[in-house]
Structure formats: C-alpha cells, structure tokens
Amino acid sequence: MAFSTTISSSYLPGLYSAHDAVAEMKPRVCLSNAPSVVQRGLTYKAGFPSHLEKKELYNFKVSASVTEDVSTLEVSVKDLIVKGDTWSIHKFGGTCVGTAQRIQNVANIVMDDISERKLVVVSAMSKVTDMMYDLVEKAQSQDDSYISALDAVYEKHKLTALDLLDGDELNSFLSTLGRDVTDLKEMLRAMYIAGHPMESFSAFVVGHGELWSAQMLSYVLRKGGIDCTWMDTREVLIVNPAGSNQVDPDYEESETRLDGWLLKNPAKVVVATGFIASTPQNIPTTLKRDGSDFSAAILGALFRARQVTIWTDVDGVYSADPRKVTDAVVLNTLSYQEAWEMSYFGANVLHPRTIIPVMQYDIPIVIRNIFNLSAPGTKICRKPVIESEEKQKLETCVKGFATIDNLALVNVEGTGMAGVPGTASDIFATLKDVGANVIMISQASSEHSVCFAVPEKEANTVAKALEAKFQQALSAGRLSQVAVIPNCSILAAVGQKMASTPGVSTTLFSALAKANINVRAIAQGCSEYNITLVVKRKDCVRALRAVHSRFYLSKISIAVGIIGPGLIGATLLNQLRDQTAVLKEKSNTDLRVMGIIGSTTMLLSDTGIDLSKWKEHHQEKGEKADLEKFVQHVHGNHFIPNTVLVDCTSSTEVADHYHNWLHHGIHVITPNKKANSGPLDKYLKLFSLQRQSFTHYFYEATVGAGLPIMHTLRDLLQTGDTIIKIEGILSGTLSYIFNSFVDTRAFSEVVVEAKAAGYTEPDPRDDLAGTDVARKMIILARECGLNLELSDIPVQSLVPDPLKETASVDDFMQQLPSFDADIAAERKAAEDAGEVLRYVGVVDVKNQKGAVELRRYNKQHPFAQLSGSDNIIAFTTERYNKHPLIVRGPGAGAEVTAGGVFSDLLRLASNLGAPSY
C-alpha cells in the first residue's frame, strides 16, 4: 500500500560557522514506521553533526512518497535551501541611502515589493566611501587629522541612527558602531605608525560604510514588522584578484558559502552589503570602485533571482548623457550586449562587469529612479526575438551613444610593417609591459599603420616604450614614425545589428560631416554592437549632439547669429519670434538665436535670446560690438552642433568673412549681394570651398528678395536646361518709379513720392545709379557659369551727370526737377509708339554679356503689366524659348526679404536632418 505524508515547518536550525561546515555536512532525516507518523501526527526533529552549535529546534516541511517496503527517507539539507525566481534583488546606491529620510524611503520600497523573498544590496551612505578612503590616506601620510575625520564619520551615522531608530534597535546599532569605530582607530593608528597600509587593511577600513548602512536598514525593516536579517557579504562572496583594479568572483566557493549562510539565516528579507568581499584566504577585500552593482549581479546569479533592480537617481538608461544632450531619451529596453558596450564606453549605466553574472541565467536588470517611482525605468535583458521582418525594420538599431574623453591616439606606421609577421604582437606586448590601457584599435587593411587610443596621461610613456622597442626598425626606415595625437575623444554608437543594417554608417558619418566634425580613426567590431570613432576633444559634445539628433529625431538645434538688426534683421527676428514654437512642434527644429550684433552694440546669450524682448535687451544689456568675439561665442557653444550666421547688412567688410566662416564649419545665409557680385577671384574661391565641404551658403534673397528666382534658376540648370537669356525688372524702387511715371507726372515728383513711401535708399541716387540692379545681374550671370566682373556690365545711370557729385541728398532732390525734361521726352516717345519705359537688367548668356538700361516695351508685354514695386524676371531657355518662364511678385520690402532669409534658414534645417513640411 502506497501513501504520502507532509510534516510542516518554515525554518531550519541556525548554524555557527556554516560555510566551514556545509561541505562535510550531510544530515539525514529518517522517518521510521511511516504509517504511525501519519496516524499519530508526530513532530520529528532534525539531527545535525555534534560539531555544529545548535541554537534552536524547528519543524520543517518534508514531502515524501512511501511504500510498504521503504523504512527510511533521506532528505538532503541542500534541497531545502530556497533559490530561484521567488527572490528579487534590489540594489540601492549611496545617494539612495544618503540620509535618514532616504533610508526610510528605501525601506518603504522594499516593503511594497510583493516578491516572496527579497535581497537588498546597499552601498555606504553618500560620500562615506570617499571619507573612508580619505581616512586611510591621512593615516598612511601620518596626518593626525584622521582621528577627527573618523569622528565625523561616526557622528554622521550616529545622527542618522537617532533619526531612524529607537529602543533596543538604536542601542544595539550604536553599540556596534562604537565598537567598530574603536577598532578602526586602532587599525588606523597602526597604519599611521607604519606609514603605509596593507591592501587588506585598507579594504577592511573602507568597507565599514556598507556594514553600517546594511545594519541600519535591516533594523528599520524589522521595526516595520518585516522578518529581516543582514548579510556581511565578506562571509559569502569570494573573489580572486585579477589585476590592480579588478577581481574575479569564485562562483563555486561563493555558492557553497551562501548555502551555509542561508541555512543559518533563514529570513525572507536579507539586507546585504555591497562592494565588499573576501579572498579565498578569508582576507577582506572589495569589488573596487562602483562595485555595489557588481555585488548585486553576483548575488542575483547565486540566488538564481527573478530580477535585479538597480535603484539610482536617474529615470533609466539614456540614449546619451543628458548633461550633454538635452534631448536624450530614456530607453525602454537594452540587450545585455548593448548595455555592456555602453558601460564600457563610459555611459552612466552600470559597473562594466555587472552584466556578466546575470547573463548566464537570463536574469533581467532594471534601472529605476528612487526619486521618481512613476518612471518604469530601463530593462536590460536578452534581446527578444523579432517576430516579423516588419517589426525589425521599425526597430531602432542604434540604441545609444557614449563618449570617453582625455584620450590620445598613438600611430605606428611604416611601409616595412606590411606583411611582416609579429609587428602587431610586438606593439601590444610593449603596451602590456608598460601597463597601458588600450581603449580602441584601428588598423588599415594595407597593414601600413596601426593606431590605438590610450588615456592621454599614458601616451608619452607608450610612445617612448615603442620607440625603444622599434629603434632599429626606425633607424633602418622600416618604420617611419611613432606619432602621438593628443586631445582626442571617443564617440561610440551602440546597438544591435548595426553592421547588417543598411544606412547606419552613412547616416552616422553624414551627421558628423554636416556638423563639420573630422573623424581621426574608426573601429567597428564584427559583433555588430558598436561603431567607434575618434574625434578632437573640442568637437566631442557637438559630435554627440549631431549624431544623436539624426538617429533620435530630437530637435535639429542650430545656433543662429544675426548680423545687422536693421530693418531686414529686425523683421527677421520678429518672424523668428512668432514661429519658433511652431517649428519646434512641427518640424523638430530649434533655431536658437545666440547673438545679435549691430554696428556699435552686440547682445550675447549662452542659452538663447528671448526674442520677445530682444530690442530692449540689446539696448539695455548689450556690450561693445566685436565681430570676432561675436562669431566665437555663437560658434563656440559645443552644446549646439550646428551654427549659422545670418548677414542682414550690405557691408563688404562683413561679406569678406564668409570664406573664413565656411572654412570653420559655420553656415552662412545672407541677402547681402556684396560677396556674390564682388571681385571674381574671391567669388570663385568662396564657391569652390562651399562645394567641397558640407557647409552651406544660402543667398536666395540676394536677387528678388523673397521671390524664388535663384531657386528657379538652379532647378533649370540642374535639370539640364540651357539658359539663353535672363531679363528682368529687379529693383522694387525703380519698378515703382516707372509704374508711377505716367501721364503728365514729373520724374522728380515720382522720386520724391517713392522716397517718402520708404521705397528708396536714404540717398535715392543709390537706386537711380542702377548699381544694385547690376549686382543682381552679375549674381545671375555667375550662377549661369559666366565669369564676369561687375565692370563688364554697362549700366545706364538715371542720375544726371551734374548731380552725381552733389554734396547732400537735399541738394540733389532740390536740383532734380531741372532735369525732368530729358526723361519726359523719352516717355513721350515711348507712349507715342504704344510702349512704356522700364528699367531692366539683361544677361545674354548665349553671347556672354549683360547690360542694365532703360528699355521700351509694348503695352501687352508682361513687363508692362507691373504695378507698385513688384519685380518680374523672364527666363528664356531651350525649353522655354517661345514663351519665357516668368517669375513675378513683390521683390522689395523688409517683410518679403526677411521671409526669403527665413526660407533659407528652414532649408538649412532640412539639409541638416529636420523633416520637411
């Protein structure tokens, strides 16, 4: 007859020195005469080897199936140790337990966790580990102040305990704290006398911060009614030194010791010390700086836990350092490999080795913010299987970006390296001998050079060692040089399947090129998890923002400098003021005006000028104008990757700076005609640079203000059309004058009217001379490929010769009526022929010449149909031969000119990656 029986209990006996005993301890539980056990409901007690101290006897739960032929049942104690997904691991850093209130918050989080069993790993209170290292430093330096420094540590923990605890718990903790501090004083005194610490002594001292915070938290939890104990992880975690700043866990020995500890301490909530451990010889040691995360991961693996939660002061893992990239986003998930790569490259994610222990058992790590419990955090786990090709396409293959600063590139090159076995081996053996930390390696397939990145402080030592190693090869010319390139940074793009996803590298390098960032070296592992770039340190943040913007569709940020807040500049600033919020929302474009400069005053801002009050601030807070300082300020803000200077002046001096600005990666937008119509050699040099770089130069408003004249001409040329002739009325002032110069009206009367209406320059002769129209025609001619100087275009001036040298504008205006008769006669002759007078510019592309002059057109001609100050231009091409392509509309005025400049700003943003609408 078969039957089953269950004897209930919750606990096992406590054990003394369990980790020494477990290996040889194999207790047995014997059930004799099983049927009588069931009938009488007896309670049996466990028998343990006599060399173990037995504190109490507990009932325990045994499930067994027994047959008539079975007289005994043996149950291994190890089988009764509970591990697995009933355990959840929580790790709280120093900031989380930095004050009494924060320790209480931690206790509340632990109590709110519904997991059946919980292990809580804690760091020392905020700054305490630094204080403990400082104690050791002071003692070994024979600085008596270590005593008062230790007293400060004691007071910090005493005051915290007084806020948190009371009664027996408080007395017990303060008693322990007092004994520990007394012991520490004796040890530090020994260090003081010896003048140097042993590694184990130092580790023993600095680990006390974790001991005290673990004990305080366990007392707080017990005070809240939680069945809790605390673990000194030096009794459990065994590690072997693996270098000056690294240890390797001994998982087998640690698991054995953990089993023994759990037999001795069967509570369902355990508060464990982070950071500290022991060597196999039971000598105290640490997991090195930031090792508490590592502790939690190791314990998570030993417990086979369901999840490890790392509590910190940020909402999760960001796509980039949020201190450098304001638009960085919190990532929902990361694979183990992605988190590993990001932590290696300096991202504030985890201790670089934290991921290793949990990967073996597929235990997820969750990064959460203790100060924002509503944030779900970032989950780090094995990459979920992509169910469909469509989902794979939608998934972002680049997860994040990280940087490492203060590096130097060391380049070993020479033709004698190619095909010579052992050169690379000798290089890196030399690096090992000097203890250099190699961050990145890049080698050309030609084997002509090998370059690698090392911390800048190690670069000279590395270079000298390599020069000594390869002295003979350098002398013989087989190696040409060992060069050090200082002031470098690494930018790493991290994500799964980057190498196999088309377009990732193109997008990455395109973003850098458009931000005018030069890449010094590149490395990409076949693992597909990262692409590593070396850039100049001064460009690092700008590079980070540029690539992050392209992959995460964050705001396309452009630092804008406005030169010339006159009529056009002021109108543009007001247009920007009205549209900034709309642009941010609809096209992810952040046009940030960082500076405004006039002829005497400039206004600078580090974060962006408030455009609703720019005039007042320019007057009240402005400083003396300095164009060089202005440009340096606008472009020197590394937190914005792109810079554009908008020249709203008509200054030749300002235009002469365009080439230098473009050369330094600054985009230029302008309605100023002086650069494009100036000396031909300067023009050709400027456009040669612009076409060879990724820096943009836009000048739509130089001809026709806001009319799409330059854009239309470029479209015709780029689509293969041939321009035969361009003819147009391109002066709003002269358009108004000749549209109004009808009937019996005097020419001088119309000029006075135009000046009063604001259509002319302050001196109307600047318009009547025709030079402005000539400049526009030169710009169009050069756009068509004609290498003409301004002097090559004959200009018919409407200023009477006797008045060209008149001293003042008033004198000119008073004397102008004396010359009305001549131009009135021309008008009458035209009217008698059924024609009108129009002042036009002409580019005869076919015959490579141009002219600016007064012409007659019949009244059915489009040029005769104009009104007001409108501009009109006719393109005669091979495609538009019988009927020229006409562009007509307002070609003057601050609003339309500023609108043309604004349109160029949006075109620049689109070229830099902003969506087009």
What's 517-554 look like in SS3?
A: CCEEEEEECCCCCEEEEEEEHHHHHHHHHHHHHHHHCC
Cβ neighbours for 19, distance < 8 A, ≥ 6 positions apart: 235, 236, 256, 257, 260, 261
CA pair distance 312, 293, nearest whole angstrom = 11
Angstrom distances, CA of residue 547 to CA of 401, 462, 594: 8, 32, 22
In terms of Cβ atoms closer than 10 Å to its own Cβ (0-12, 13-18, 19+), residue 472 is exposed
> For residue 685, how many other CB atoms are within 10 A of its CB?
12
- Enter the tokens of residue 57: 């006897």
CA pair distance 193, 127, nearest whole angstrom = 27
Q: Give residue 447's pLDDT.
A: 59
Domains of the chain (ranges; CATH) run 87-312 (3.40.1160.10), 398-553 (3.30.2130.10), 556-703+905-912 (3.40.50.720), 709-892 (3.30.360.10)
> Mutual orientation of helices 146-164 and 167-194 as an angle, nearest 10°?
170
Q: Give residue 914's pLDDT.
A: 66
DSSP string, 884-895: -EEEEEE--SHH
Q: Give residue 34's pLDDT.
A: 34
Question: CA angle, 717 as apex, 713 and 722 as ends, to 5°?
Answer: 105
CA pair distance 269, 271, nearest whole angstrom = 7
pTM for this predicted structure? 0.68
CA pair distance 620, 732, nearest whole angstrom = 35
Q: Give residue 197's pLDDT.
A: 66
CA pair distance 872, 863, nearest whole angstrom = 7
Q: 324 an active-site residue? A: no
E-state strands within 232-325: 239-241, 247-249, 269-273, 276-278, 284-286, 307-312
Assign residue 590 a region (left: φ > 0; alpha: ψ between -120 and 50; beta: otherwise): beta
Cβ neighbours for 576, distance < 8 A, ≥ 6 positions apart: 560, 591, 593, 611, 902
Q: Give residue 207's pLDDT.
A: 94
Residue count of the chain: 917
Q: Give residue 79's pLDDT.
A: 59
- Enter the tokens of residue 487: 């002031």
Helix, strand, coil percent content, the chain, rounded in steps of 5: 45, 20, 35
Q: Which of 54, 555, 776, 828 is catalytic?
A: 776
Contact 573, 618 (CB under 8 A): no
- Using alpha carbons, select from 348, 312, 93, 119 the residue that is nearest to residue 229: 119
What is the DSSP secondary structure assignment for residue 212, as one 8-state letter?
H
Q: Give residue 93's pLDDT.
A: 92
pLDDT mean for each 10 residues of the chain (917 residues): 35 33 36 32 31 32 40 50 93 95 97 95 96 93 94 97 95 96 93 81 92 97 94 96 84 96 93 96 87 93 96 91 86 89 76 86 95 94 56 60 92 74 84 89 75 93 92 86 93 81 82 86 76 92 87 78 94 94 84 94 93 92 95 85 93 95 93 94 92 88 89 94 95 92 92 88 90 95 94 94 86 92 93 94 94 94 90 95 92 85 92 66
**H helix runs in 816-888, sequence order:** 820-832
Cβ neighbours for 625, distance < 8 A, ≥ 6 positions apart: 597, 598, 599, 600, 601, 602
Regarding beta strands 228-231 and 276-278, do their DSSP bridges make them parallel or antiparallel, or are they unpaired?
unpaired
The amino acid occupying position 468 is A
643 - beta bridge partners?
559
Angstrom distances, CA of residue 732 to CA of 700, 839, 888, 890, 891: 16, 11, 12, 8, 6
E-state strands within 648-704: 667-669, 697-698
CA pair distance 76, 555, nearest whole angstrom = 63
Contact 334, 397 (CB under 8 A): no
pLDDT in tens, 313-363: 889 999 998 888 887 889 999 989 888 888 877 666 777 788 889 999 999
What is the DSSP secondary structure assignment for residue 238, as one 8-state letter?
B
* Radius of gyration for the chain, computed over Cα atoms and rounded to the nearest angstrom: 40
Regarding beta strands 365-369 and 378-381, do their DSSP bridges make them parallel or antiparallel, or are they unpaired?
antiparallel
Contact 239, 213 (CB under 8 A): no
In terms of Cβ atoms closer than 10 Å to its own Cβ (0-12, 13-18, 19+), residue 319 is buried
